[in-house]
Amino acid sequence: MARRNKAPSGTPALRALAEAGVPHEVRAYEHDPRAAEYGREAAEALGVDPARVLKTLVAVADGTLTVAVVPVAGRLDLKALATAVGAKRADLADPAAAERATGYVVGGISPLGQRTRLRTVVDASALEHGTVLVSAGRRGLDVELSPADLVALTGAVVAAVGRA
């Protein structure tokens, strides 16, 4: 995998990867504004197994914003997310709150380089792959990296929070 020291789009996610010296590959595609599901659009456009493309969802767990990173091929199990962070309940966050906290727009929220570093949970299935793809901070731009590097850079807890 290529190591890119210069972030072509200048997104905070790509800057965070460059500053950490993490090997990664930037993967761009033509985003269709009519796409119903951003993650599945990325998987199809890039020709990647949807199990390797991860979506970043922001939830509220007992009043605290929390990031969940799960495969686009499945759904977030909110009960499992709550358990993973020691909360009683979790619900998806209001999109505007997610955008304010992360500094990214919905459909381009990256788990990397967020405005406010939120506690993060990465689905355990991510570790089954040599590399995974996450948003690089804008629609139409993903970054491929090792799941271990994703976990390390986000300080994530790894737990089974995705479901088919």
What does the block give as tokens for 46? 């890039």
The stretch 87-93 carries a mean pLDDT of 98
The stretch 143-160 carries a mean pLDDT of 98
The stretch 104-119 carries a mean pLDDT of 95
pLDDT tens per residue across span 9-63: 489 999 999 999 999 999 999 988 888 788 889 999 999 999 999 999 999 999 9
- Residue 5 in domain: no
- Residue 14 in domain: no
* Strand pairing class (64-71; 119-123): parallel
pLDDT at 19: 94
- Residue 16 in domain: no
Q: Which residue has the tokens 């997610």?
A: 98
- Residue 117 in domain: yes
- Residue 11 in domain: no
What is the domain range of residue 136?
A: 27-163
This prediction's pTM: 0.91
Residue 3 has pLDDT above 70, yes or no: no
Number of domains forming the structure of the chain: 1
- Cβ pair 109, 135 in contact under 8 A: yes
Element (H, E) at 113: none
- Residue 1 in domain: no
The pLDDT-based confidence of 7 (bands split at 50, 70, 90) is very low
**Ramachandran angles phi, psi of 125, nearest 5°:** -65, -20
pLDDT at 72: 94
pLDDT at 36: 79
Fill in the amino acid letter for 84. Answer: A
Residue 155 has pLDDT above 80, yes or no: yes
Q: Which residue has the tokens 């977030």?
A: 76
- Cβ pair 118, 66 in contact under 8 A: yes
- Residue 104 in domain: yes
pLDDT tens per residue across span 52-78: 999 999 999 999 999 999 999 999 999
The pLDDT-based confidence of 2 (bands split at 50, 70, 90) is very low
- Domain CATH code at residue 137: 3.90.960.10
- Residue 3 in domain: no
pLDDT at 1: 54
